[in-house]
Amino acid sequence: MEGYNEELNERLELTLGRLKEIKEEEINDDALGKYFRANADALLMFSGILLNENISAKEMKALNAKLYEDIAGDRYEKSYCNPAYATELFGNDYGKLLSVVAAEVRSAIPAAVEHQIQPFLIRAEYLLQLYGEIKTSLEEEGTLPAYDSLKESFYYFVSDYYETENLIRVRGLTDPDEDFALKIIEAAKPFDTDILYMYGEYITDNELKLYKYISGLSDEKIALMADTYTEGYRKGFINTGKDLSKKKTVNIRYPIGMERVVKKAIDNFAEMGLKPVIYRAAESIFTSRNVDKNGYFGANPNRQYDYDHREDLALILDAQLLTRRLECIEEAFKAYREKAQVHAGPAVIEIFGEEPFKPVNKQAACRYNEEQRQLMARYVSENARITFTYIPGNERSFTIISFPVPAIGDKFEEIFDAVIRINTLDYERYEKIQSKIIDALNEAESVYVKGSGNNRTDLTVKLFDLTDPAHQAIYENCVADVNIPVGEVFTTPVLEGTNGMLNVSRVFLNGLEYRDMYLCFKDGMVSDYGCSNFADPEEGRKYIEDNVLFHHKSLPMGEAAIGTNTTAYVLARKYDIESRLPILIAEKTGPHFAVGDTCYSHEEDIKVYNPDGKEIVARDNSVSIKRKSDPKNAYFGCHTDVTIPYDELGLLEGIRKDGSRIKIIENGRFVLEGTEGLNEAFEEV
């Protein structure tokens, strides 16, 4: 290892020296000279952090805005990372490549902040390689190298380093000794916001105000928040009959500013025998860039930047590269097999309240073609299969809880308190009311859903046929365990016989807005879809295919559910924040239907029981059952809920085999006997 470190240090010294030379050199193209000098400057700035292992919070604070100024706000319009600007300067082909490379240079920031030489070098050395190829060609040939030649070099750069990058990523997922974020959490002191800059993430007033607000909460309230979160995780294992004692690590995901809650949660998890593994939200061509973050994260300096670069791999993706990527992921999991097997799964703190994002589709941005979309659909499915092989799906669990951030508005503190109340509602009350709905729908062979007003929903969902109603149930009675807050009953629908249209006037899914969105189903499979976000209907279809169907032409309906948390619905209406609710809460505010895998994905053979002792038998559908004969086509690695709010709902009823009806909701109100108490919250609207 000592020799290895010496080699890295020698390479780093040479690389930094060469980057400094770029700043002094001239090449036979002024625009390209400025491009390379700007990127060399950025890497040299990052290297100042990389080489200073004792850098202070105040020093990091002074650098924070400069680290992200290139893409923050209006400056992005003239950033080389902006594909529209890059293609304007360098033409369509060269511009796309140079924009992707500029974005990859930015992904050296985490490596610098965490003092990891190798991932920093990977990016810096590639920039030098690209510079050398272009400079030499301009000097010797008087023209740029052939575009295909440059693209091929970039292809092999990505292919060659998939192994290294995936080892880093899987180690971060499974190894508790990767404790960069943990040290920051442990060092955090109330009201001392400077510590937040040590992450190297973009920090704004939103994160600072959240940290200060959390600092001022009582110990009792912090304990309530953390206990709700960690108890939900523990109950997830108990309620599914899984042995938590076999596990040693838990992945904690959180927004910067919530350190005090996370610190208490870490103490709670320690009592369960679990150490935290905490990784940064991924942002690289080797992993992904998404508007919606997965890991720990700060502010997003520009969501359009993430949207523009979410499909950068389209520049070079082919079947060979995909196979290479999957092989490297599997090899990384093999290398950390023992740590992966004792990993218990994610415990997620989400945030909501930021201004809704409305992306602009840019022609200059890289976008997958049809063949590449199919490859990415295969990747998502295969990646999930590999992950569940080494972190067994039937042994892991999860929990998710959500809180608002100051960006939600002037009534942030009032809303925050209201959300704490929602997250800690009396689950026993909901359990009893929801059991009434489940008992009624156990008599039905299908559920019919009809929209009201301009909502065009007209949908029939086929239900599982019980063979032993005295001991079986179709729907799960979901209270506050893995999926906080309380408030839904859900089932895996039978695909054959599930037909019709699901429509919502406005919905936000994974950080993106959809207007007048519709999904049509034929025998449970999505058969048509669209939205009115764009003037061109085809743009709307592509938007859904990319971000809801995840590059599939069709997905099955994996879940049919009834949200019962009318208190959450009223909260959203009272403060006019429906557009800012996360799916986690939004799905509890009306009937919802998910496309993709079932709620029991990779765990269908584990018996699950409702509190009344009845086994939930509707865990499989005709797609997921393929895991027994054709596992590569059984799962999709995605599950997206679409909710019809109560005020757009005309009717939800069960239909018995004899044709008789069981009304559950009519004109947005619960009408089934025993559920009327859910309507009390509506009186506050």
One domain, residues 333 and 474: no
Domain boundary among 102, 122, 145: 145
Q: How many CB atoms lie within 10 A of CB 449?
A: 24
* Residue 175 included in any domain: no
Confidence of residue 520 (pLDDT cuts 50, 70, 90): very high
Give the mean pLDDT of 315-321: 97
Confidence of residue 482 (pLDDT cuts 50, 70, 90): confident
If DSSP codes are grouped into helix, strand and coil, which group holds residue 227?
helix
Lowest mean pLDDT among 105-109, 209-213, 261-265, 351-355: 351-355
One domain, residues 478 and 610: yes
* Residue 200 included in any domain: yes
Proportion of the chain above pLDDT 70, given as a percent: 99
One domain, residues 357 and 245: yes
Give the mean pLDDT of 236-245: 89
For 565-584, the pLDDT digits (tens) are: 999 999 999 999 888 888 88
CA distances (Å), origin 593, targets 34, 180, 310, 519, 605: 51, 39, 26, 10, 22
Tokens for 151?
Answer: 């693209």
* Of residues 601, 643, 607, the one with CA closest to residue 621: 601
List of E strands, 458-493: 458-462, 472-473, 476-478, 488-491
* Residue 650 included in any domain: yes
Please check the confidence at residue 250 and state whether its pLDDT lies above 90: yes
Please check the confidence at residue 286 and state whether its pLDDT lies above 80: yes
CA distances (Å), origin 306, targets 100, 109, 310, 365, 600: 11, 15, 6, 11, 31
Task: Output 583 or 242, whichever has higher pLDDT.
Answer: 242
Place of tokens 């239907």: 593
Task: Output 128 or 3, whichever has higher pLDDT.
Answer: 128
Sign of CA dihedral 334, 337, 341, 345: negative
Please check the confidence at residue 1 and state whether its pLDDT lies above 60: no
Please check the confidence at residue 537 and state whether its pLDDT lies above 60: yes
Give the mean pLDDT of 92-99: 98
Q: pTM higher than 0.85, yes or no?
A: yes
* pLDDT, position 289: 79
* pLDDT, position 685: 62
Please check the confidence at residue 638 and state whether its pLDDT lies above 60: yes
* Residue 419 included in any domain: no
The overall average pLDDT reported for the chain is 94
For 595-637, the pLDDT digits (tens) are: 999 999 888 888 889 989 999 999 999 999 999 898 888 999 8
Please check the confidence at residue 4 and state whether its pLDDT lies above 60: no
Domain boundary among 89, 124, 145: 145
Range of the domain at 454: 430-511+520-527+558-684
Gap between the Cα atoms of 513 and 533, Å rounded: 8
* Of residues 627, 400, 593, the one with CA closest to residue 503: 593
* Residue 161 included in any domain: no
Please check the confidence at residue 480 and state whether its pLDDT lies above 70: no
* Residue 234 included in any domain: yes
One domain, residues 215 and 273: yes
One domain, residues 244 and 129: no
* pLDDT, position 2: 41
List 400's β-bridge partners, or say none.
348, 483
Total count of domains within the chain: 3
* pLDDT, position 283: 87
Domain boundary among 145, 172, 193: 145
* pLDDT, position 584: 81
One domain, residues 83 and 203: no
One domain, residues 133 and 268: no
Confidence of residue 380 (pLDDT cuts 50, 70, 90): confident
**Cis link prior to 485 (omega < 30° from 0)?**
yes
* Residue 158 included in any domain: no
One domain, residues 451 and 578: yes
Confidence of residue 3 (pLDDT cuts 50, 70, 90): low
Give the mean pLDDT of 394-398: 89
Please check the confidence at residue 413 and state whether its pLDDT lies above 60: yes
One domain, residues 141 and 187: no
One domain, residues 125 and 194: no
One domain, residues 132 and 185: no
Give the mean pLDDT of 242-270: 97
Place of tokens 């994610």: 346
One domain, residues 386 and 335: yes
For residues 213-229, one letter each, b for 16 or more C-beta atoms within 10 angstroms of the residue's C-beta and e for the rest, the string is ebbebeeeebebbbebb
* Residue 318 included in any domain: yes
